[in-house]
Chains A and B, each alone.
Chain A
Amino acid sequence: MNLVPVTYKGGIYRHDEIIDLIDDLGGYIIQKHVLAQEVVLQALVPKEDIGLIAAIAKPLTGEITPSPLVGTEIAVVTMSLEIHHLPHASCDVAEYIRRFGAKTNMVGLARGFGKRIAQMNDEERDVINEHDLAVYLLGDFETCIQQKFPVLRRGIEIPMVVCGGPSRETLQRIIDPPVDGYVGNVGRFMHRTKESEELTKLDEVVEEITRVLDRKREEIAKDPPSVSPARLMDVINEQVDEIHEVFSPTPITVQMTGLRVKLPYDTFARVLRDIPIEEGVTIGEIADIVPSRMRDYILIRIRPFSETNIMV
Chain B
Amino acid sequence: MEQVEYFEVECTEETGGAYYRRIADVVLLDHNLIRVIKKLHISIDPGVPIFIAVGVTRKLPGVVRLRDFAEVNATGQKIIISIGDETHLAPLLQILWERYGKESVEQPDRFTIVLSAEGQESGDIEDLPVFDPTESIYKDLIYALMVIQPEGFKVRRQWYGKEKFYLVASEDTLPENIEDLVREKFALMGERL
Task: Find chain B residues with CB under 8 A from A141 CB.
Answer: 13, 16, 44, 46, 150
Task: Find chain A residues with CB under 8 A from B150 CB.
Answer: 113, 139, 141, 144, 188
Whether the Cβ atoms of B147 and A84 lie closer than 8 Å is yes
Residue from the list B15, B27, B171 in contact with A140, Cβ < 8 A = B15
Binds B, one of A2-10, A114-122, A250-258: A114-122
CA distance A218 to B154 in the complex (A): 45
Q: Does A82 contact B (CB under 8 A)?
A: yes
Task: Find chain B residues with CB under 8 A from A166 CB.
Answer: 13, 15-16
CA distance A41 to B12 in the complex (A): 49
Whether the Cβ atoms of B151 and A115 lie closer than 8 Å is no
Whether the Cβ atoms of A85 and B151 lie closer than 8 Å is yes
- B residues 1-24 near A (Cβ < 8 Å) are 12-13, 15-16, 19-20, 22-23
Task: Find chain A residues with CB under 8 A from B178 CB.
Answer: none
Whether the Cβ atoms of B152 and A140 lie closer than 8 Å is no
CA distance A141 to B9 in the complex (A): 14
Q: Does A165 contact B (CB under 8 A)?
A: yes
CA distance A167 to B16 in the complex (A): 11
Whether the Cβ atoms of A118 and B152 lie closer than 8 Å is yes
Whether the Cβ atoms of A188 and B23 lie closer than 8 Å is yes
- A residues 101-121 near B (Cβ < 8 Å) are 113-118
Q: Does B117 contact A (CB under 8 A)?
A: no
The minimal Cβ–Cβ distance linking A273 to chain B, given in whole angstroms, is 44
Residue from the list B13, B151, B153, B171 in contact with A188, Cβ < 8 A = B151
Whether the Cβ atoms of A190 and B23 lie closer than 8 Å is yes
Whether the Cβ atoms of A189 and B46 lie closer than 8 Å is no
CA distance A144 to B50 in the complex (A): 12
Chain B residue nearest to A167 in the complex (CB): B15
Contact flags B146-175 to A (C-beta < 8 A → 1, else 0): 111011111000000000000000011000
Task: Find chain A residues with CB under 8 A from B154 CB.
Answer: 114, 117
Task: Find chain A residues with CB under 8 A from B13 CB.
Answer: 140-143, 166
Contact flags B75-119 to A (C-beta < 8 A → 1, else 0): 000000000000000000000000000000000000000000000
Residue from the list B19, B46, B147, B153 in contact with A187, Cβ < 8 A = B19
Residue from the list B23, B27, B151 in contact with A82, Cβ < 8 A = B151
Q: Does B62 contact A (CB under 8 A)?
A: no
Residue from the list A82, A85, A115 in contact with B49, Cβ < 8 A = A115
- A residues 70-101 near B (Cβ < 8 Å) are 79-80, 82, 84-85
The minimal Cβ–Cβ distance linking A8 to chain B, given in whole angstroms, is 38
The minimal Cβ–Cβ distance linking B167 to chain A, given in whole angstroms, is 14
Q: Does B47 contact A (CB under 8 A)?
A: yes
Whether the Cβ atoms of B16 and A114 lie closer than 8 Å is no
Chain B residue nearest to A145 in the complex (CB): B46
Chain B residue nearest to A170 in the complex (CB): B15
Q: Does A295 contact B (CB under 8 A)?
A: no
Task: Find chain A residues with CB under 8 A from B172 CB.
Answer: 116
Contact flags B13-45 to A (C-beta < 8 A → 1, else 0): 101100110110011001000000000000010
The minimal Cβ–Cβ distance linking A79 to chain B, given in whole angstroms, is 7
CA distance A100 to B33 in the complex (A): 38
The minimal Cβ–Cβ distance linking B148 to chain A, given in whole angstroms, is 8
Whether the Cβ atoms of B19 and A188 lie closer than 8 Å is yes
Given A84-B146, A188-B23, A189-B22: A117 and B171 within 8 A (CB)?
yes
Residue from the list B20, B30, B44, B46 in contact with A115, Cβ < 8 A = B46
The minimal Cβ–Cβ distance linking B100 to chain A, given in whole angstroms, is 40
CA distance A82 to B152 in the complex (A): 10
Task: Find chain A residues with CB under 8 A from B171 CB.
Answer: 114-117
CA distance A80 to B147 in the complex (A): 13
Task: Find chain A residues with CB under 8 A from B44 CB.
Answer: 141
Task: Find chain B residues with CB under 8 A from A165 CB.
Answer: 15-16, 19
CA distance A114 to B49 in the complex (A): 9
Whether the Cβ atoms of B22 and A113 lie closer than 8 Å is no
Which of B13, B146, B153 counts the most chain A CB atoms within 10 A? B13
Whether the Cβ atoms of B151 and A140 lie closer than 8 Å is no
